[in-house]
Structure 1
Amino acid sequence: MFPELVSLCEESARLGGRILQQWRSRFTAREKSPANLVTEADLASQQAIFELIERRIPGCRFLGEEGLFINDRPSSIRWVIDPLDGTSNYVHGFPYYAVSIGVEKEGKLVAGAIYDPTRDEMFTAHRGSGALLNGKRIRVSPTTEVSQAMCMASLPVKADRYDEAVERFLRALDVAQSVQRTGSAALNLCCVASGRVEAFWSTSLKPWDMAAGVLLVEEAGGKVTCVDDSPFVLDEPDILATNGTALHAQTVEMLKRKS
């Protein structure tokens, strides 16, 4: 069943991406919080994705960023949907945003797709079969030293200088070769999976930000834990995704608060 699920993930993500691009020149924006904008495009993308999946596989459970929560069905399948990851980038015309769709079966991530409509890049994975970019196999970077690594991080909205996430970011600047903040956790995880960067971390994400990307990283040979190296839990906001080499332990150490 997993190939059918990932195929529907891909179809749904492409549909959402087309809607985002159609709306890009005509949306109106309203603030959800000072630095986290939501648009009519976001809502239209989610609704179209939901309707397509519901037609194809009726009766599943759903969790989506824009108020989509259907959990009172007996299905073992849950779709975890971010119809627009990187909303602020999208609003400002910065081309780093995506549609992310992950699928859990009996609580385990089994399929996922992340679509970048600005580059027409489709990242897909299903459990046990590797990760793909536009149909071609991808693997994590072989880099073993964090001092040679490009890293990415997500920070909380309006975090101040003394927020632990900001302190962690600053500590990494002293150790890693490069540290970036880009505004799309889903695409950051794609970058780890495809070997473009070596590590990504955050302690402020939601399940829809991570579901598909976590599976991609794992299927590409990487490792996903919490920032302190404890086991990753999708419904918790804490994630560290790396290429899974010795660099993972070095990154954990790098991010620790120094006493």
Structure 2
Amino acid sequence: MADPWQECMDYAVTIARQAGEVIREALKQKMNVMIKSSPADLVTATDQKVEKMLISSIKKKYPSHSFIGEESVAAGEKCVLTDSPTWIIDPIDGTTNFVHRFPFVAVSIGFVVDKKMEFGVVYSCVEDKMYTGRKGKGAFCNGQKLQVSKEDDITKSLLVTELGSSRIPETVRVILSNMEKLFAIPIHGIRSVGTAAVNMCLVATGGADAYYEMGIHCWDMAGAGIIVTEAGGILMDVTGGPFDLMSRRIIAANSRALAERIAKEIQIIPLQRDDED
């Protein structure tokens, strides 16, 4: 049987490229920066423009499909995942990077059917790297097949994580304490590029051995999640349980053993789920 979603994936790649062009152009202009949930949670007119462009293009082509978009949710739309084919979109993952012209900015498009990830497209547009993953078909970057690293010794691992946009002192304390615990195992190092989607894609390339974070959203993870698993990696909840796209937390690692070892060290930050009011 022909792959029913391949056409959707090809279309996602096309529009992610178009969105990337808009973003690259906007990087040359003066920006209008607004604040969302905290002084470090930023949004720009370009985020809103790109999301509108992506969703209206897809709606025209696939009118029966559902959508979850970061800026639509910020504007008050409900974040509900049903069984219907759903496009989960982050127009600019790495808005703070975008504002500062720090060169890691990604368009992330995830496609979920029956609540399961079918494909993901992450376009790191300043680097011009197109990451793709399709269930059962592998993961690629600019056409080159991706494979996670083989490193299963945590003391020889390189991890990626983010400090996040919350400035609540207790949350910041837990984030830093988790980094300190992992750092002192010891591990080779911890890196941050400022976008969850690119961090996860770096795990898929084998450049990093694992990524963990709490406080992100489904639109940060839906595109890159399947790229990690199709490159041979694993997604897990920070508790060590099964990964849940709406839980706002993740460990993406090259192996179950490494993911479980990270979960053992992490103190949980209580968060409201994406699908809760």
TM class by smaller structure: over 0.9
Structure 1 window deviating more from structure 2 (193-202 vs 54-63): it is 54-63
- Tell me the TM-score normalized by structure 2: 0.87
Matches within 5 A, 1:51-130: 51-67=56-72, 69=77, 76-130=84-138
Matched, 1:9 2:12: yes
Residue equivalent to 2:34: 30
Maintained 8 Å contact 1:60/1:75: no
Give the letter aligned to residue 32 of structure 2. T
The alignment status of 1:46 with 2:51, answered yes or no, reads: yes
Unaligned runs of 5+ in 2: 269-277
Of stretches 237-246 and 214-223 in structure 1, the one that deviates more from structure 2 is: 237-246
Change (3 A) 1:179 1:159: farther
Amino acid in the other structure paired with 2:50: S
Q: Look up the SS of the partner of 1:252 in the other structure.
A: helix
Matches of 1:135 and 1:48 in 2, distance apart? 26
SS of 1:111's partner is strand
2:158 to 143, 150, 154: 150
Q: Quick one: distance in 1 between partners of 2:255 and 2:52?
A: 36
**Cα separation, 1, equivalents of 2:115 and 2:66:** 11
TM-score by length of 1: 0.93
Q: Which runs of 5 or more structure 1 residues have no equivalent in the other structure?
A: none
Q: Closer, same or farther in 2 for the Cα pair 1:184/1:88, shift >3 Å? A: same
Give the corresponding residue for 2:273: none
For 2:35, the aligned partner's letter is E
The residue that corresponds to 2:169 in the other structure is 160
Offset at 1:152?
A: 0.8
Note if contact 1:113-1:122 (Cα within 8 Å) is conserved in structure 2.
yes
- Alpha-carbon distance, 1:71 to partner: 7.8
Task: Name 2:245's counterpart in structure 1.
Answer: 234
Pairing 1:172–2:176 present: no
Return the offset for 1:160. Answer: 3.2
Identity of aligned residues (%): 30
In the alignment, residue 46 of structure 2 is paired with which amino acid?
A: A
Partners of 1:183 and 1:75 lie apart in 2 by: 31
Count of equivalent residues: 257
How big is the shift at 1:70? 7.5
Superposition deviation, residue 254 in structure 1: 3.5
Give 1:252's match in structure 2, choosing from 257, 263, 271: 263
Please identify, of 241-250 and 88-97, the stretch whose mean Cα deviation from structure 2 is larger.
241-250
Contact 2:111/2:118, CA 8 A, preserved across alignment: yes
SS of corresponding position for 1:154: coil
Q: Over aligned residue pairs, what C-alpha RMSD do you find? A: 2.1
Shift of 1:245: 5.5
Secondary structure at the counterpart of residue 169 of structure 2: coil
The aligned amino acid for 2:17 is: R
Aligned equivalents of 1:117, 1:221: Cα separation in 2? 24
Output the CA distance in 2 between the equivalents of 1:237 and 1:84. Answer: 18
Q: Using a 3 Å threshold, how does the CA distance of structure 1 residues 71 and 240 change in structure 2: closer, same or farther?
A: closer
Q: Deviations over 1:54-113 (max 9, x none)?
A: 1221121100000154889x9821000000000001100100110000001121110110
Query: Do 2:236 and 2:259's aligned partners in 1 also have CA atoms closer than 8 Å?
Result: no
Query: SS at 2:71's partner residue?
Result: coil
